[in-house]
Amino acid sequence: MRKTRLLRYIVVVNMLLITAVNNAQIPVVSVVEDMLEDISVNNYDGEEIDWSSIINDLYEKIEQPINLNSATLDDLKIFPFLTPQQIENILAYIYIHGQMQSTSELMLVEDMDRNTIEYLLPFVQTKPVDNVHQPLLKTLLKNPKQELTTRFDIPLYKRKGYEDRYLGPALYQSLRYSFRSAERLYLGFIGEKDEGEPFAALHNKKGYDYYSIYLLIKNIGVLKTLLIGNYQLSFGQGLVLNSGFNLGKSAYLNTTFNNAPSIKKHSSTDEYNYFQGVATTIAVHNYVDVSAFYSHRRLDGSINEWGELTSIYKTGLHRTEKEHLKQRAVNMQLAGAHINSHVNNVRFGVTGIYYVMNKSYQPMLTGYRKYQINGNRFYNFGIDYAWRYRDFFLSGETAKGKKGYSTINRLHYELVNNYRFVLLHRYYSHDYWGMYSNSFSEGGAVQNENGWYLGAELSPIKYFNLFASLDLFSFPWMKYRISRPSQGIDTQWRLTYHPRLPLNIEVHYRFKKRDRDASGTQGATTLITQQHRLRLKANYLLNQLFQFRTTVDYNQFTEVGAKTSHGFRMTQSLAINMKRIPLHLYFQMSYFNTGDYDSRVYITERQMLYAFYTPSFYGHGGRWMAYARCDFNKQWMAMIKMAQTIYFDRAMIGSGHDLISSYQKADVQMLLCVKF
d(CA 66, CA 75): 8
d(CA 612, CA 32): 9
Q: According to the model, what pLDDT value does residue 17 have?
A: 33
The pLDDT, as a whole number, for residue 43 is 52
DSSP string of 573-624? EEEEE-SSSSEEEEEEEEEEEESSGGG-EE-----STT-----EE-SEEEEE
Pick from 147, 57, 47, 34: which is nearest to 610 by CA?
57
pTM: 0.88
The answer on pLDDT for 118 being more than 80 is no
Q: Tell me, what's the pLDDT at 23?
A: 38
- The 3-state DSSP class for residue 11 equals helix
Choose among 271, 240, 297: nearest CA to 435. Answer: 240
Choice between 232 and 418, residue whose per-residue pLDDT is larger: 232
Q: Where are the domains of the chain?
A: 1-132, 216-403
Report the run of H or E that residue 119 belongs to, with start and end: helix 114-120
Residue 592: which pLDDT band, with cuts at 50, 70 and 90?
Answer: very high
Is residue 473 a contact partner of residue 488, using CB atoms and an 8 Å limit?
yes
| pLDDT value, residue 82 | 80
Describe the chain by its helix, strand, coil percentages, rounded to 5. Answer: 15, 50, 35
Residues 406, 201: Cα–Cα separation, whole Å: 46
Q: Mean pLDDT for the chain?
A: 86
pLDDT tens, residue by residue, 250-300: 777 777 766 555 898 998 888 998 999 999 999 998 889 999 999 999 999
pLDDT at 153 over 80: yes
Q: Specify the pLDDT at position 134.
A: 60
User: What do you get for the CA distance between the two ends of the chain, in Å?
Assistant: 42
CB contact at 8 A, 551 and 535: yes
pLDDT at 460: 84
| Nearest of 443, 494, 497 to residue 469 by alpha carbon | 494
Q: Residue 4 pLDDT more than 60? A: no
Task: Provide DSSP, 422-459.
Answer: EEEEEEE-TT---TT---S-SSSSSSSEEEEEEEEEE-
Provide the pLDDT for residue 66.
84
Q: Can you tell me the mean pLDDT for 331-344?
A: 93
The confidence band for 634, taking pLDDT boundaries of 50, 70 and 90, is: confident
Burial degree of 307 (CB within 10 A; 0-12, 13-18, 19+): exposed
Spatial distance between the Cα atoms of 81 and 504, rounded to a whole number of angstroms: 19
Q: What is the pLDDT of residue 410?
A: 93
pLDDT (mean) for 322-349: 93
CB-CB neighbours of 521 under 10 Å = 11
The whole-angstrom separation of Cα 603 and Cα 484 is 34
Secondary structure (DSSP) of 336-388: EEEEEEEETTEEEEEEEEEEEEEEEE-----GGGTT---EEEEEEEEEEEEEE
pLDDT tens, residue by residue, 7-45: 343 333 333 333 333 333 334 455 556 666 666 555 544
* Greater model confidence, 39 or 61: 61
Residues 197 and 212: their CA atoms lie apart, in Å, by 17
Per-residue confidence at 140, pLDDT binned at 50, 70, 90?
A: confident
Instruction: Note the pLDDT of residue 25.
Output: 36
CA quadruple 575, 577, 581, 582: dihedral sign: positive
Which residues, 6+ apart, have CB-to-CB distance to 509 below 8 Å? 492, 493, 494, 532, 533, 534, 535
Distance CA 78, CA 570 (A): 33
The 10 Å Cβ neighbour count of residue 174 is 21
User: Residue type at 496?
Assistant: T
Per-residue pLDDT, averaged over 181-187, amounts to: 85
Mean pLDDT of 594-623: 89
Q: What pLDDT, on the 0 to 100 scale, is given for residue 81? A: 74
Q: What is the dihedral of CA 324, 326, 330, 334, to 10 degrees?
A: -90
What percentage of the chain reaches a pLDDT higher than 90? 54
The pLDDT assigned to 400 comes to 96
Angle at 341 between CA 338 and CA 343, to 5 degrees: 165
Question: What band does 57 get if pLDDT is binned at 50, 70 and 90?
Answer: low
The answer to whether the CB of 353 falls within 8 A of the CB of 235 is no
pLDDT band at 221 (very low <50, low <70, confident <90, very high): confident
Determine which helix (DSSP H) or strand (DSSP E) holds 52, and give its type and residue range: helix 52-63
The yes-or-no verdict on residue 138 having pLDDT over 80 is: no
Region 643-651 average pLDDT = 96
Which tens digit of pLDDT belongs to each residue from 399-455?
Answer: 999 999 999 999 999 887 678 899 999 999 999 999 999 899 987 789 999 999 999
Residue whose C-alpha is closest to residue 600's, from 69, 46, 13: 46
- Nearest C-alpha neighbor of 482 from the set 434, 437, 449: 449
pLDDT for 22 equals 37
Work out the pLDDT band at 1, boundaries 50, 70, 90.
very low
pLDDT for the residue 542: 85
pLDDT band at 339 (very low <50, low <70, confident <90, very high): very high
pLDDT at 341: 92
- For residue 584, the Cα-to-chain-centroid distance in whole angstroms is 25
pLDDT (mean) for 501-509: 88
pLDDT at residue number 52: 61
Coil, helix or strand at residue 174 = strand
Mean predicted confidence (pLDDT) in 87-111: 87
pLDDT at residue 582 is higher than 70: yes
Distance (Å) of CA 529 to CA 483, 514, 517, 600 = 14, 5, 10, 15
Report residue 95: phi and psi, to 5°: -65, -40
The angle at the Cα of 108, spanning 102 to 114, to the nearest 5 degrees, equals 90
350 vs 219, which has greater pLDDT? 350
Q: Which residues pair with 541 in a beta bridge?
A: 547
1-132 placed in CATH 2.30.110.10: no
